[in-house]
Amino acid sequence: NDHYRDGITNAGIYHIRTSVLEGINNKIKVLKRVAYGYRDLDYFFLRIRSAFRGKFTPIPTIG
C-alpha cells in the first residue's frame, strides 16, 4: 500500500524506538506550551532544534 511506504522507509533508515519517539513528542509539546504567545515561528523551530542538538541525524530544512 502506497499510504504506508514513507513510514516504513523512515523506520528502516532512522531506527528510533517508540519510547524515544514518545519522549521527543513530549518535549516538543512542553516547548509548545512554554512558547504560547510567541509570534515568531522560526524562533520556535530553532528552540526545537536546539533541544535535540547532536542527538540525531539532522533533518533537512525546507526552503
* Tens of pLDDT, residues 7-53: 888 888 877 788 888 888 999 899 889 888 878 888 888 888 888 87
Domain range for 45 is: 3-52
Whether 51 and 57 have beta carbons less than 8 Å apart is answered as: no
- Which CA distances in Å does 56 have to 1, 7, 9, 18? 28, 17, 17, 15
Number of domains the chain contains: 1
Asked if residue 59 belongs to a domain, the reply is no
Asked if residue 62 belongs to a domain, the reply is no
Cβ-based neighbour number of residue 56 at 10 Å: 11
Cα 10 from Cα 33, distance rounded (Å): 28
Q: What one-letter code names the amino acid at 16?
A: I
pLDDT interval class at 55 (50, 70, 90) = low
pLDDT of 62: 57
Asked if residue 61 belongs to a domain, the reply is no
